[in-house]
Structures are given as C-alpha cells and as structure tokens.
Chain A
Amino acid sequence: MTMTKQTYVPGTHPSMPPPKGSTGIAYWLKKNLFSSVSNSIITLLAIYLLYLAIPPAINWLFFDATFVGTSRKDCDPNGACLAFIGERFNLFVYGFYPAELRWRVNLSAILLIVAGAAVLWDKIPARRFMLWYALAYPLIAAWLLLGGFGLESVSTHLFGGLMLTLTIGVTGIVCSLPIGILLALGRQSNLPIIKYFCIGFIEFIRGVPLITLLFVASTMLSYFLPPGSTFDLLLRVLIMVSLFASAYMAEVVRGGLQALPKGQLEAAESLGLNYGQSMRFIILPQALKVSIPGIVNTFIGLYKDSTLVIVIGLLDPLGIGRASVADSAWLGLSTEVYLFVAIFFFISCFGMSRYSLYLENKLNTGHKR
C-alpha cells in the first residue's frame, strides 16, 4: 500500500465542506430548540403560548384598530382605538404650551439633538467648539422655553407632555453627575465632618421614596425659605429630582473609586500632584470609566422616575394620558394611551442603554480578560 503524499503551497488548499449535518436550518433547529426531550417540550409549550398571545395582540393593535375618529363611538370595540392618540398628539408632545410658540420647543429639541451629538459622538467636526456650545445649551434652552429677553415669556405651568419629561430628564442628568461626583469624593474623604455630612445626605435620600421628596417640594419647601418668598414649582421639582439622582450617582461613582487600587493615588501623590490634580488627571478618569454602566443606569432610572411628578400635579405624558382617560368622549381607553406612552419611554431608555454598551466597548482599554 502506498501512501500518497500531497503538498500544498500555503493558502492554496481547496477548502473542504463542513461535515454533513452540522450546517443549515435543520441543524440550527436541532441544536437550539430540540436538543433534548425536555428542551423540545419547552419549545413546543413556548410556541403555543406565543401563538395564544401574539396573533390576538397584533389583530387588536393593527388590523382591528381604528386610526381616525372624533370620539369613542367611531372606534371598533374589538380593536385598539388609536384615533384618540392622533387627536391628542400635540397635547402629548407640548403639554399646554401656547400653540403659536411651539416652534420654540421644536427649536430647542433640535438644538438638544445637536448638543447631544457633540457630547456623545467624538468624531463630530469642530468638537471643541461644539462642546462649548453643549455647555451653553441649558441656558439657551431655558431662554427659548421660558422666554424673556425679547421673547414672549411662558409660565412653567404650561409645560407638559414630552417636553416636560425631557426638561426634567436633561436637567437631572446635567446636574446630578457633578453633584454626585462631589458627594462620592466627600464620602471617600478623610476629613470626618465632610465625610459624615455626605454619608448622612446620601443615606437619607436613598432611604426615602422620591414621592415623599416631591411632596416636600410641593407642600413644605416654602416653610424653609425666607418669609414671603416663593419660587416656581417646576424649579423646586427640578432641584429635588437632581438631588435625588445625585445621591444614587454618588454611590455608583463610589463603586468606581473603590475599584481603583490604592497605588494609583499614591503614585499620583509621589509625582507631586496635589489633591485636585490627582483626582482630575489620575483617579476620576479611571473611576468614571469603570462606572459608566452604573451612571447610565442611574440616568435611565432618573428619566423613568420623572413620571412621578404626576402625583404632585405636573402633567408629563403619563399625566396627560391619565387625565385624558377620564375624558367622557374617550372613556375606558387606558390601555391604548399607556401603551403609547410606554413605547415612547421604551425607545428612549433602550437607546440610552445601547449607547452605554457602545461606550463601554469603546473605552475598554485592556481590562477585558
């Protein structure tokens, strides 16, 4: 018997097909859905449950749904009554903001997208300039939304809907990160008075529900101000929401700080950096990088928590939904309304969590094993 010996120049070997039965749809099905008896039973059960749930839901939401109409009577009782959403769409987006001034809301939304892009996307042209712009954005937005200085002023009582959510969310995000970092550094500090003040503040805020803080803002805060002075309800809410989120932020940042080995601070000190410099150049860049997932989660939580303002009478999309459910022409439509609001929140929060994944991967410089 002779052995045939064949040699190939590297890279010229004719590729062999994969072994039989390890490719194709049938193989994938067998591997992922029917690998064992119990697995097959689970799969069939899941398919049956999905069959029970999904076709009726799709029928209800799309095929039997009514998209145009002026009252509940125009709607097919078997389907979703989406006419209502269309009818109230402007209310959901702008709240009670005066119709002829809505361009100002639109403009600040567009400017927000530009500012967001400048912060979130590092390949934007002229980034340095754009970042200064993003820093100034809150002032520009406040001017556009509130008016004054040449624009007709609008009371914050008229704020509502989506724009209220964005106002609370963006303000909370912008304020809570710096305050949270300061609180976290204070909690790690070796100056006892500062340390225990920070601990007390953080633990108090984290121990009570946001609702109670909002109640304090709406009913009691005026007691603590100089006699006769009062300030805007929305502003009080913004302060409370920011403080609330910053306590949670502080704990996230503290996690990042504790994850750093002590040698980093010692090395920074031995280079002669003072406290501020070593925090700014050595500690915080690393600590914040580690805590990105937590920071974004806190942002998402804050954004979702902004719905709680409905308990003190502000009308965000959820509040408008709840108020419209009680409208006599459209009685009993809560499911449609809440689903619509849910979709809006899902898109924004899911987007944020995807961005955090992207950022984590981008900043991951060699800690992955």
Chain B
Amino acid sequence: MSTPTPNPLLRAWYDKDTRSVIIQIIAAALIISFFAYIINNAVTNLAAIGKDINFSFLWQNASYDINQHLIEYSSTSSHFQAMIVGLINTLLVAVAGIILATILGFLLGIMRLSSNWLTQKIAYVYIEYIRNVPVLLHILLLYGVILNALPRPKSSYNLNDTFFLNNRGLQMPSPEFESLFWVVLGFLASGLAFSLWFKRYAKKIQDATGKIYPVAMISIGAIILLPMAVYFLLGSPIVWDVPALKGFNFKGGIVLRPEFIALWLALSMYTAAFIGEIVRAGIIAISHGQTEAAQALGLSNSLILKLVVIPQALRVIIPPLTSQYLNLAKNSSLALAIGYMDVVATIGGISLNQTGREMECMLIVMAIYLTMSLLISSGMNWYNDRIQLVER
C-alpha cells in the first residue's frame, strides 16, 4: 500500500507553524515595501521642490503674537517658544476641562439615579442633548453666545467691583505675593504632609486597637484653618491687583479670554455628559445585595456609599473614564476653530504657514499628542491598578 506523496509545498502549507511563518514573511514584505514606497516618494518629491527635513527653523523668529501666554513671549521669540506657549495653553485647557468635567459628570450621574423624578429627567434631557450634538458645534455656539449676548466692557456684569464679565472675557483680580506669603505656603505644605501621615497613623491605630480618630476634622484643621490663621496673623501678605475700566477696556488683574471660556466650558459640558452615563453605569453595576449586606451590618447611609458602593463602582468607572479624559485632551485641538492659541494653532498653524515646513510641524504636533495620550493613559492605568480587586 502506498500513500500518494503530496507536493512538498502543499505539505508546508498544511503545517500550521510553517504556514504562519509564510504568512508573516509575506505580510512583512508587503508592509516594508509599502513604507519604502511612500518614503521613497516623499524623498523624491521633497528633492524636486528643494526641501529637506530640518528642524532648525524652530530657532528662528516666530514674529507673530499670541494673546494668551502664561510664560514670557513676544513676537521676537522663536518658533520653539511659540510651541511651548501653545503647549502650555493646551495643557491648561485640558487640565481645567478634566477637573470641571469630572465634577459635573459625577453630579450628572448621581442626578440620573436620583429618586427625584424631576432631577432625573433634567439630567436625562441634558445628557441626551449634549451627547448627540458635535462638540465643535458646542464650542462655536458657546463662543457665539459669549461674543454676541454678553455686554461690552463699559456695561459689563459687575460683581462687587472685583469681577467683571463682558464680551472680552472674565476679568478677575490677580494676586501679588509678598515675601511673607511663602511662610503661609510653608504652613500649608507642612499641614498637607502632616495630615497624610496622620491618616496612615490613624489607620494603623484603628487596625490594631479599634480606636477611631477624627481624621477628617484634624486634617481640615491642619490644611485649612492653621494656614488661614497664619495668613491673617501675618497681615494678609497678598495684594490683589483689581481690574478697573480704563477707556474702552479693563486694565490690571487677569482675564479669562472668551476663547478660553468657550473652549473650557464646551469641552467640560460635552465630556461631563459622557462621564455622567459612565458613573451611572458604574453605580448600577454594583449589585443591590452589596448595599443590603452593608445595611445588615448596621452601616449608615454615608458609610455605605463611602466604604462599599463607591470603591466598587470606581473599578467599573475608571477604565472608560480614562478614555473620556483622553478624548477631552484630544478634542482640545478644536481650539483652532475659535482661535484659541493651542499647540495646533501655533506650531501646527501659524508657524507651519510661515515656514512652509508641513512635515516637521505635523510630526511635532503628532508627537506631542501621542506623548500626552500616553501619559494620561499610563497615569490612569497606575490608579486603576491600585484600586482593582486584589485577588488572592
């Protein structure tokens, strides 16, 4: 009896390991030749118009102004400085947005689960409206409302002659620190350190003996009351520079520009709607038996929330929350549409147009966003690992 000898090529194909090697070699060849092809094209095209890849333009004069700069910047600064200013503006709106969106989002999530029919419905309508309309539209709408509906500086909304709201933005007093203020700051830092230590100490004592210290009260005393007392004892070592109307505009103080306010509020409102749904889903994911068991142990309602429901809900909430934070950071690039000078508008916009270095500018912008995404997600992953269920 003789078995027909199959073709050796066919036999190699029927072997799982050989086949996977063959497929991978083909895939690698395709991928490499694709990249070789486009890189070759890019090199040819760039050579044809006499360009090269060169980042030295970063040190040339930017010669454009940026209206919101938190560090020293003028039109004689370099493109690199313009990029840093833009990056700081991006980070500013992203961080402020994340904070506000988290607060609003948790509020919305709790409202959605409220036993009060009216608050529940208000949160529902808000979430559905906000989620189903593009964020760019929210930004443009809010910006339009600020520019058109708010009064001119002359007749601005006035709170106690210190805060002024008008179509140039929100004018606020800015603090000027005297040297004694650093003493207050020192007390604040040591209060913070003390309460962190005290919290651990109290937990150790409680675990060992069952004795409970009033940690919250003592921490508030150390962090807030003591520095405040020192502040007033030293004679309030902060001078407030209050804005005042001079001619057609305000002088002094600091101003939140309309672009910043519109972008910040729109991004936070938009992301908050998503966070609200995430929080709601996280809380209802905790089975009712957990609450009942805690009640059976005699815990009060606030303790049930603090010790049983929230720690478990956070495990469900954190991963999707991370991607919402990432979305917010990336959506901050929509600043471009209303002229907020973020990193896309500076290095990826005006610098790009001035120097004509599309390749380099876009590479920088993408690298910045990739780094930012990576940092946010690794930070949130670290937090997520800490609160995950420890399985033994």
Contacts and interface: CB of A to CB of B under 8 A. Distances in A.
Given A223-B359, A342-B133, A318 B140 contact: yes
Interface in B33-74: 38, 41-42, 44-46, 48
B38 A224 contact: yes
Interface residues of A, number: 56
Nearest to B142: A338
Nearest to B135: A304
A359 interface: no
A37 interface: no
Nearest to A229: B41
A318 B137 contact: yes
A338 B137 contact: yes
B78 interface: no
Contact of B330 (A197, A209, A345): A209
B57 to A, nearest CB: 16
Interface in B107-144: 114-119, 122, 128-129, 131-137, 140-141, 143-144
A5 B42 CA distance: 97
Given A220-B359, A227-B48, A318 B136 contact: yes
Nearest to A306: B134
Contacts of A220: 358-359, 362
A338 B28 contact: no
Contact of B122 (A46, A206, A210, A215): A46
A275 to B, nearest CB: 10
Interface stretch (A7-15, A109-117, A188-196, A257-265): A188-196
B137 A335 contact: no
Interface stretch (B193-201, B294-302, B369-377): B369-377
Contact of A335 (B129, B149, B348): B149
Contacts of B28: 193
Contacts of B119: 42-43, 46
B365 interface: yes
Contacts of A210: 330
B148 interface: yes
Contact of A322 (B41, B44, B140, B334): B140
Contact of A342 (B116, B118, B137, B333): B137
Contacts of A304: 132-135
Given A33-B118, A207-B370, A212-B366, A193 B24 contact: yes
Nearest to A195: B24
Interface in A18-56: 32-33, 35, 39, 42-43, 46-47, 50
A207 B115 contact: no
Contact of B334 (A192, A300, A308): A308
B377 to A, nearest CB: 9
A206 B358 CA distance: 21
Q: Is the interface of A mostly helix, strand, loop or mixed?
A: helix
B45 A223 contact: yes
A212 B145 contact: no
A33 B114 CA distance: 10
Nearest to B49: A223
Interface residues of B, number: 56
Interface string A195-228: 0010000001011111110011001101111110
B226 interface: no
Nearest to B349: A215
Contacts of B134: 304-305, 307, 318, 345
A310 interface: yes
A293 to B, nearest CB: 11
Interface in B296-351: 326, 330-331, 333-334, 336-337, 344, 348
B348 to A, nearest CB: 7
A300 B132 contact: yes
A320 B273 CA distance: 27
Interface in B202-222: none
Contacts of B238: none
Nearest to B43: A223
A62 interface: no
Interface in A77-108: none
Given A310-B136, A322-B140, A191 B369 contact: no
A32 B117 contact: yes
B27 interface: yes
A318 B149 CA distance: 20
A350 B38 CA distance: 41
B44 A227 contact: yes
A63 interface: no
A32 B359 contact: no
Contacts of B42: 223-224
Contacts of A166: none
Given A332-B148, A338-B144, A208 B369 contact: yes
Contacts of B148: 332, 334-335
A204 B28 CA distance: 19
A307 B137 contact: yes
Contacts of A225: 41, 45
Nearest to B333: A209
B220 to A, nearest CB: 24
Given A191-B23, A223-B42, 14 more contacts: A33-B118, A35-B115, A191-B27, A193-B24, A193-B28, A207-B370, A208-B366, A216-B362, A223-B45, A227-B45, A318-B137, A318-B140, A345-B133, A345-B134
19 contacts: A32-B117, A33-B117, A43-B118, A50-B122, A190-B20, A208-B370, A209-B331, A209-B334, A212-B333, A216-B362, A220-B359, A226-B41, A304-B135, A310-B136, A311-B334, A335-B145, A346-B132, A349-B131, A349-B132
The 3 closest A-B pairs by CB, nearest first: A334-B144, A32-B117, A349-B132
